[in-house]
Each structure stands twice: as structure tokens, then as C-alpha cells.
Structure 1
């Protein structure tokens, strides 16, 4: 059977939606090599992360011809899908092209989050309007809607009136290396490059207000000095970082903060997870919370928020804190520093939970079931 996929993010996004697209397709092809996968993108790319999809004969790449690239993705690609004999098209990032139903092509769309509806104050008006139009069209036209968490499913019902019986919850999987038990030595140059302390807490995420890094810093200020482990902060956002560091109340913490904004190798990231005392992820809102799942798979305890999808991502491997109460974060850090039995329980339970819920086998089978349901509606 021939399946089509919106591959713009796969070819051009190094993280986020790009990782979601690449992992989903790699897992799908590994489990079902009989499928023919057609990848549609306004243009291809020479990015190293997309190389396997350009070189594997199991993928056919189609790019825009004769159309302005942005218009082709929404309007021109349907004609190409019909020529290719595609039976089902999967929009991997919130949107579907027009005309699929008229062409007799079944459709599935993945909705990752509705942050722009839940927190409109975080987005410019024009961006909110564009996102809303695309998601509204996709939810109306898709034969099946994939939500990457139960929380996103509830948001779809609340904000768009999407019928819950047409929504399938299919969790996001992680890079395959996070599921291996092998623990290769950290390269010596990486140890020097990151200046790793012997013991540390770890934050992974873009440096934006939504990720809520100030909660961690405010919690540190409430801890006794002996409990203030170095904090490694992995993520990009120089402007926001500089703004935080300019605040007088955080100056006593400057010697404890290690900033890493150039990490682009998941092998190094996994080693950071495995060496950390715990991963701290007190975000105000997430559609899923990939760093939480990655940390659990790396056998690391997690402290995350009580809100949105994060309790789903953390399961029994996480301590949950109110993202607006630094005293709760401080208490969680103190417990992880002084209660090794608790930390061991979190690590064991979290690792088993993440393998069962976010593993390639479980997520790919749920994906295939969504495809079967979509095809049955045609």
C-alpha cells in the first residue's frame, strides 16, 4: 500500500516536529517494510538528519514543480498524490492539503498541541489566525485525527468540537537510541566541552517563558547552599537567557549555572540525562513533553508540572509540582537529594512506564490502527 506524508518538517526541522516525523517514519518502515512511503515537501534538503530518507529506496521523495512552494503544499500536492496512487495521506504537523476527499484519498492528521488557543497571549494575532485556520480545516476534513496525548485530545474536543470518537491518541516515540541499554563512554572531548560537574540537575528545552526556567531558579534560592547542585541548562534562546541573568535576584546563582546551546547530538544528550541527578521540566504547557520521556528512558528521575500533558508523560517516574509554586520545586529537589530510595523507585517505575507506553512497537501499532480506521471510512 502507498502512503503519503507531509515531509516539510522531516527535511527542514532539526528538532521538534522534525524529530517527530523522522522517528514516526523510521519506526513505521522498520515494522512494516512492505509499505511504500511517499514523502512530499516543497523542497528537499541536504541536512544530515534527513540523509536516511533521501538514500533509502523505501522512500520516494516528491517536491514542488511548477507551483510556488508554500501554495503547492496546501493546494498542488493533491494532484501529485493521485498520480502516485497514494491511498492515505498523513499530515504530520497540524495541517492537510485541500481536495483530498474529492480525490478519493483517505487522510490522517497529527495535532501536537493547541497552545495558541489555551494561551493566546503567547502568540502574535496573525500567527494565531493562521494556526486556527489550518487546524480547523484539518479537523474538519481528516478521516482520523491523531492527538499525541490525552490532554491534546481533550483540547481538540473543547476548542474545535472534534468528535472524540474520531480522535486516536498515539503517543510520540523517542529516538531509537533512548531505548537501548548500551551505555557507551562519553567522548573525552565532550566531557571537556560541556565541563560536566560530578553531580548536577538538568534542564532541557528552548529558553522561552513557557518552559518556566525561572521557577527552578526561584526554587534554588529557597534551598540551603549545600543542596544547590550545579544546574545544566540545555537549550537555545540567548536573548531570554541574558534577560534572566540581568535580574539581580539571580546573581548569587550565576556560578552554579552551566549553559549549553550547541548540543546537536542525541548521543551526548542521552549521556547528560543518564549522569544527571534528575531532569527538571516545569513547563507551563506542553502537547507531550519529549524531554520527560527521554529522561525516563535514560533511567533518570524527573520533576515536572501538574498541568497539560506532563503528568501523562511522566507517569510514575516523575514528581509533580505546581508550575507557579517554587516552594514545591524546592521541596522536590530536597527529596531527590536526600531520599535515594525514592529516587530509585522513580527511576525503575519510570523506565518501565516509558518503554511500555512510548516504545516503537506500541506507538507504531497504534498508528497503524488509526490508518486502518481512516481507510475504512472511504
Structure 2
């Protein structure tokens, strides 16, 4: 079987959950399932491709500024993807995002698309169009797809609620994490506070970061050796700095860029707990990353989180600052609870291996091409 993937999630993304998902999927399909995978991509600074052997790409510099340079190389990559699709040298096509440029070139070849979340549709009234695609464009892609992969049961139900799609067209295949088989480099060392809570990734909008910070501020006041460490997604904004100053916790909130998987692994491993206060996620890969790194997990009780975490996490109402503080303080103070959650997290992780994700995806491909 020959499967073609396009450029969309790799053109401008150095890191990111969607790019990581497709990279791990291609890697596993190629080496464990013996599938002939091809990525239609020429130019990229993607970290996963740079350190792997799925596709040799050409890195580029931002000579026109970040946005304009990304747009230029994205257009070049799109032309290359269109050319590769038009050659018809594949059995099934799997676009990595929702641009519909490929439809005129696809002919009668089938395609499968993965729907990671409906965050833009659920939060568009509050935060505008978060991914730049309107509902009608996605509806067209979903209608024409042979199969739709949803990354959780919660996401499947959201898709069926928001879009006009037949339920039997949507297959649920969970995400996984490469950290489940990751072997850290013992030579890599990082410096962190002795006691800290970990936050990872984007801090904007529905991520609920400001409510979380306000909730734990009293805990930080009581425990001056406890820190909140935020990994990745750029330095703190002026708004965030002002918030920390207002709450008088500026000295206990730190930011650290994540330059490698080894860095991220150690951030999880050394933390007292990973706390995920988001109002909504399609899946929540950081939950699995924390499980794999023996890091206790405290989660919002919204969307897919209870489905993914089950009994391996503590939960709180993300709109209730007192409840957030109660659960966070509980995990900080109780070493036996942390040990119990670590053990449960290791057990829960067994349901989310990259091999399972790839083999189930291959079953979907095979069902489409007969």
C-alpha cells in the first residue's frame, strides 16, 4: 500500500501536536507496518523531520520576516503537493489539514482526514476563527472524505453535533505519544527548581491559563519554595507579566523554552505534577507525555480529559478557582497520592501506544481501498 501525506502541518511548524502526530504515524507505518509512506514536502524547519528519516527537507531562513517567509514556502510546498497528487502514484491520500487545494488533482483516489478537535467551532464566537477555516470549508472536506478519523469519542460526538456527517463515516483512533518508548539521553541535563508545577504549551484563550494562575497564587504565597514552570510557546506577554505582578508571584513563575525531547522529558520527570486547566481539547497529548515521564497529572474535568485520563488523574472544574486550588494543593502535599497516580498513569498509558494508533489507522486505509 502507498500512502501520500501533504505539506500542510509541516510547512511552517517547527513543533506542534499535529505535526508530531503525523510524523509518528508515518514512522510507525513505515517501519512496523511496512507501508510505503511518502510526504509531499520540499521546504521545512520542522524539528521532527530534521531529526528523523521520513523525509529529507530543505530548511529556510526568514528573510522576508516570519509571516511572509512562511507564506512563501507554504505556497511552494502546496504547488509541490498538488504536483505529487496529480501524478496519482499512491493508493490513498491523507491531507494533514483542511486546505482544499488538493480536490481538483485527486481524481478518483480516496482520501482520509483526521479531525483533531472542534475548538474553532466551539470557541469562534469568543475567540474568532482560531484556525482560519470556516465551517462550510470543513464541511466540504468532511463530506468528500472516504473516512474521518476522530482522536477521541468526545471529538467524534462534537463532529457529529456540529457537522452534517453520517456517524458510520467517523472512526475513533486515539493519539499516542512517542515518549512511551523514548530513551532519554543521559548526557542531557537541565536546571529546574526543586519543587515546581509544570504547564506546557500555548497559554492563550481557551487554555484558561490566567484563571489557573489566579487560582494557585495563594498556594504560591504560602509556599515560597514552590514554582510554576511554563514550558514552550514563547516568553511571557506584557499582560501575563502584569498579572503576575498584580498577584505578587512574579518571582515564582518561570518560563523555559523546550529545545528537544530530552528537555521536555526532564521537565515532566522533575515536576511535582503536570496541571492542564484547559476549557477544551480534542485529545490532550501532554496527558500521555506526563504518564510516560512518571509525572502526576491534575486535569480540567471538561471535554475529553476524563475519557483519556480515567482514574489516573485528579480533576477540577476549570471555572472554579477554589476547586483548582484544592486539587493542586492536594497533589503538592501528598507524596503517596503522587506515587499512586504515577502508577495508574503507567497502566493507562498502555492503551495509547504508537503501534496501536498506526495499526488502527492502517485498518481504516484498508477499509477504504478494499
Cα distance change, pair 277–90 in 1 and its aligned pair in 2 (3 A): same
Shift of 1:100: 6.5
Which of 195, 200, 211 lines up with 1:199 in the alignment?
A: 195
Do the aligned partners of 2:92 and 2:111 also contact (CA within 8 Å) in 1? Answer: yes
More moved, 272-281 vs 214-223: 214-223
Q: Give me the whole-angstrom Cα distance separating, in 2, the residues matched to 1:237 and 1:284.
A: 21
Q: CA deviation at 1:215?
A: 2.6
In the TM superposition, what are the counterparts of 1:290-329 in structure 2 within 5 Å? 290-329=285-324
Aligned to 1:133: 136
Indicate whether 1:40 and 2:40 are aligned: yes
Q: Secondary structure at the residue paired with 2:230? A: strand
Residues 250-278 of structure 1, C-alpha deviation per residue, up to 9 Å, x if partnerless?
44211211111x21211111011011010
- Provide closer, same or farther for how the CA distance between residues 308 and 95 of structure 1 changes in structure 2, counting only shifts above 3 A: farther
The number of aligned residues is 351
User: 1:74-153, aligned counterparts within 5 Å?
Assistant: 77=81, 80-96=84-100, 97-99=102-104, 103-124=107-128, 130-153=133-156
Moved more, 88-97 or 275-284: 88-97
- Give the Cα–Cα distance (whole angstroms) in 1 for the partners of residues 22 and 184 of structure 2: 26
CA RMSD of aligned residues (A): 2.8
8 Å CA contact 2:152, 2:282 repeated in 1: yes
CA shift, 1:50, in A, is 2.0
| Residue of structure 2 in register with 1:5 after alignment | 5
Q: CA deviation at 1:128?
A: 6.9
Give 2:68's aligned residue: none
Equivalent residue number for residue 266 of structure 2: 271
Question: Compared with structure 1, are the counterparts of its residues 332 and 46 closer, same or farther at alpha carbon in structure 2 (3 Å cutoff)?
Answer: closer
Pick which of 8-17 and 266-275 moved more: 8-17
Aligned to 2:64: none
* 8 Å contact kept, 1:11–1:18: no
Q: In structure 2, do the counterparts of structure 1 residues 324 and 46 end up closer, same or farther at CA, with 3 Å as the change threshold? A: closer
Is contact 2:244-2:250 (8 Å) kept? no
Equivalent position of 2:188 in the other structure: 187
After superposition, the C-alpha distances for 1:151-190 in whole angstroms (9 at most, x for unaligned) are: 211111001021121111112222x3x12375554634x3
Q: 1:348 deviation in Å?
A: 0.9
In structure 1, how many angstroms separate the alpha carbons of the residues matched to 2:105 and 2:302? 36
Alignment of structure 1 residues 41-56 onto 2, 5 Å: 41=41, 43-45=42-44, 47=46, 49-51=48-50, 52-55=53-56
* Cα offset, 1:53, TM superposition: 2.6
1:230 matched to 2:227? The reply is yes
The 3 A distance-change label for structure 1 pair 357 and 10 is farther
Separation in 2, partners of 1:221, 1:93: 38
Q: Report what 2:237 is aligned to.
A: 241
For the residue of structure 2 that corresponds to 1:139, the secondary structure is helix
Q: Note closer, same or farther for the CA distance 1:48–1:231 as it changes in structure 2 (3 Å cut).
A: closer
- The TM-score normalised by the length of structure 2 is 0.85
**In 2 relative to 1, CA 182–266 (structure 1 residues): closer, same or farther, beyond 3 Å?**
closer
Gaps of 5+ in 2: 58-72
The 5-angstrom pairing of residues 335-350 of structure 1 reads: 335-350=330-345
CA distance 1:32–1:206, shift in 2 (3 Å): same
C-alpha distance in 1 between matches for 2:169 and 2:55: 33
Q: Distance in 1 between matches of 2:103 and 2:185?
A: 47
TM superposition shift of 1:44: 2.4
